[in-house]
A and B are shown apart, each in its own frame.
Chain A
Amino acid sequence: AQSVAQPEDQVNVAEGNPLTVKCTYSVSGNPYLFWYVQYPNRGLQFLLKYITGDNLVKGSYGFEAEFNKSQTSFHLKKPSALVSDSALYFCAVRDGSSASKIIFGSGTRLSIRP
């Protein structure tokens, strides 16, 4: 069965510092991994995805994510945080054998202080 875990409910970072939001996953087939961001009173917006190939994936707004197969992780990173990055971030996984079903993590609230 598919599952995804975001071990931190909240991450606090000072503006200008690097940030990491953690995600680990479990799938029976090949993983399709995604990060989405949710701003208040809005739907989710796509940030980036890993399908296959390079383990470092670059996405929107300067975010990137590192795929680590041995650790079954897909951590979201940004070299220099902005106050405007403050939002709720969701990691999600799809199993290639059950393409329609996407499992979301419980979310991590990112707070960037000026």
Chain B
Amino acid sequence: ETGVTQSPTHLIKTRGQQVTLRCSSQSGHNTVSWYQQALGQGPQFIFQYYREEENGRGNFPPRFSGLQFPNYSSELNVNALELDDSALYLCASSPNSGPNEKLFFGSGTQLSVL
């Protein structure tokens, strides 16, 4: 069983640039969610995709956008990067989108915005 994989593991960008982070969900999982974890804080929910459709979003501006592909892998895109976007970005997959589903997390992408 292949776990959740994220790429790249580390990334350095400058303010104003755009970034794309990638996530491969665990085999058999059709739901992917993205989280931002700032240093010393808990993960903050960005959005969730279920069968290629966004089905929930947290309090993040529209410059945070995403995609889910037919194989259920996903991308997180962030435009017009700001210094405060520096964080660990976590992807998690689950077998379905129900509230009782446990999440399987990747190891994250550490984004630094200079």
Are B102 and A46 closer than 8 Å at their CB atoms? yes
Are A96 and B103 closer than 8 Å at their CB atoms? no
Residue from the list B43, B48, B99 in contact with A104, Cβ < 8 A: B43
Is B41 part of the binding interface, using a Cβ–Cβ cutoff of 8 Å? yes
Are A100 and B104 closer than 8 Å at their CB atoms? no
The minimal Cβ–Cβ distance linking B83 to chain A, given in whole angstroms, is 21
Residue from the list A51, A99, A105 in contact with B97, Cβ < 8 A: A99
Residues of the B chain whose Cβ atoms lie less than 8 Å from the Cβ of A98: 56
Kindly identify, within residues 25 to 68 of chain B, every residue whose CB is under 8 Å from any CB belonging to chain A: 33, 35, 40-45, 48, 50, 55-56, 58
Contact A106 to B42, CB < 8 A, known contacts A100-B33, A100-B56: yes
A6 nearest CB neighbor, chain B only: B42
Binding stretch for chain B, among A37-45, A63-71, A78-86: A37-45
Task: Give chain A's interface residue range (CB within 8 Å of chain B).
Answer: 20 to 34
Residue from the list A41, A90, A100 in contact with B43, Cβ < 8 A: A90
Residues of the A chain whose Cβ atoms lie less than 8 Å from the Cβ of B58: 101
Residues of the B chain whose Cβ atoms lie less than 8 Å from the Cβ of A101: 45, 48, 56, 58
Kindly identify, within residues 76 to 106 of chain B, every residue whose CB is under 8 Å from any CB belonging to chain A: 90, 92, 97-100, 102-106
Is B21 part of the binding interface, using a Cβ–Cβ cutoff of 8 Å? no
Interface on A for B, CB 8 Å cutoff? 32, 34, 36, 41-46, 49, 51, 90, 94-96, 98-107
Given contacts A34-B103, A104-B42, list 15 more A-B pairs with CB under 8 A.
A42-B107, A43-B4, A43-B90, A43-B106, A43-B107, A43-B108, A46-B102, A94-B100, A99-B99, A100-B48, A100-B56, A102-B33, A102-B103, A104-B43, A106-B42
